[in-house]
Structure 1
Amino acid sequence: MAMTAVTVPDTPTPTPRRRRARGPVRGIALNVIAVVLGLGIWTLLSRSGIQGLTGPVDVAVRGAELIADGTLPADILASLRRVFTGFALGTALAVPVGFLMGWYGTARGLIEPYVQFFRTIPPLAIIPLAILLMGIGETPKIFVIFLAAFLSSVVATFQGVMDVDKTLINAARVLGASDRVIFLKVVVPASTPFIIVGMRIGLGAAWGTLVAAELIAAQEGLGYRMQQAQLYYDLPTIFVGLISIGVLGLAMDRLLLLAERRLTGWQERR
């Protein structure tokens, strides 16, 4: 009996563009699932009898009240202004200092001991000194946030310059490139991923320092509001402050990730 060959149609291979399109959609779906699961676990814990733990509904109601009377928007703007100013100043100084340390051995020998010394001192420990030297205005608050962002970013930038593949630098020299061209065309692009990582770590450090910074005679801000709520055992307000800081920090981090993708489009990704 003759055998009839069965032809199996080829399964279409997803194109790179289609795979790239699926990635963000899948990531967003997983993020939504994670948020829903988190809210569900929070609700179960609040109803399980844990003393004092408030639930998502109470927090949402309190958040709506703070938005309606203008308290939360004012606190968010005050905290954003402090974090953004300190973070921007810290990063703006950290990048050139990190490049100097990585590119010039003399600058590295002069600056690195101070960077490593201050890295061992928590920025929060600087607060008493900042109050004595700078008063109780906005300056000491911004300064401690600046210090937290600077120390994280400068080390990452320095490490990025040190880790540039020497083969690339030597190849550029063989082709006749000057030190200036090598620095701008080889070192800076190769260091950019490290700089972005340092900025992300510095951003987290800036938000982490915010609450303590706003203890310095602040009259508004998310940290200040949480401290006031603690005095009256106002847990919903504390949760509103925590969630606001988390959401704002996450949004700023995602903006840095977007900038990284724009600036490092040449880099191979998984």
Structure 2
Amino acid sequence: MVYTVTFNPAIDYVVRMEKLKTGEVNRASYEEMFFGGKGINVSIVLNELGIKSKALGFTAGFTGEAIENGLMAMGIDADFVRLEKGNSRINVKIKTNEETEINGQGPHIDENALAALFGKLDKLKDGDTLILAGSIPNSLPSDIYEKILQRLSCRNIMTVVDATKDLLLNVLKYEPFLIKPNNHELGEMFGVKLTTIDEIEKYARKLQEKGAKNVLISMAGDGALLVDENGETHISGVCKGTVKNSVGAGDSMVAGFVAGSAEGDYEYALKLGTAAGGATAFSDGLATKEKITELLNTL
């Protein structure tokens, strides 16, 4: 079973307008709502690819109920810890000729709620996959990823961590199956500016030396690079299309890679991840199976 964790889920309210005028009433030409949060995004795209997952995390209030009900309507097992106070976030995404985002803060997560999440994680079994993605709410300890991986380290659980800087570096000793920084984040972790493929590969291998099994580096318009656990390097070009949406593309890449790596074929996993990321970037919402298949056939 695949499990995803989203500490701070949200309803993403997406509006399009010709121009955003501050200090005035603006009217949308298009609006839609999506259930968001990095782990949730991964679960949704995995579901499109025929991989069932259980979404864990925290929800609160009427917005939290909407998130849970919406995911279950999609066929995703929503097993969130319900918080007694507050409401899950509403994030506003305003799209004109550029994107403007207003992200909510989210509810407070207390020690009892965190203990309840740990109780759910304790039920994971050997052979399960756990995907941790996204930033940490202020009410949680900053080393929460490390605490989770340490708690699971005695079991044969495949872990995926999509995070940045120290949040990522501090968990490498637990040998995650997959990490996915982008090329800029990779450079920031080592205090260098990376300008060539060879440099990106060199520092990706440094992360591997620190414990990561597979290091997937997204490079925006230059495609993606993977250093796999067998020591092989794979490079995928970028999918061709018109970018409509930057939200969730990285999460979709993670989902595609996880789905594609089930048979141990990392070249195919990279291609499926690239296609899934592109399918989201070229859509108003997250990738669909049809769009992923279409792009996969071009790689």
* TM-score normalised over the length of structure 2: 0.22
Task: Give the structure with the higher percent helix.
Answer: 1
Instruction: Compare the two structures and name the one with the higher strand fraction.
Output: 2
TM, length-normalised to structure 1: 0.24
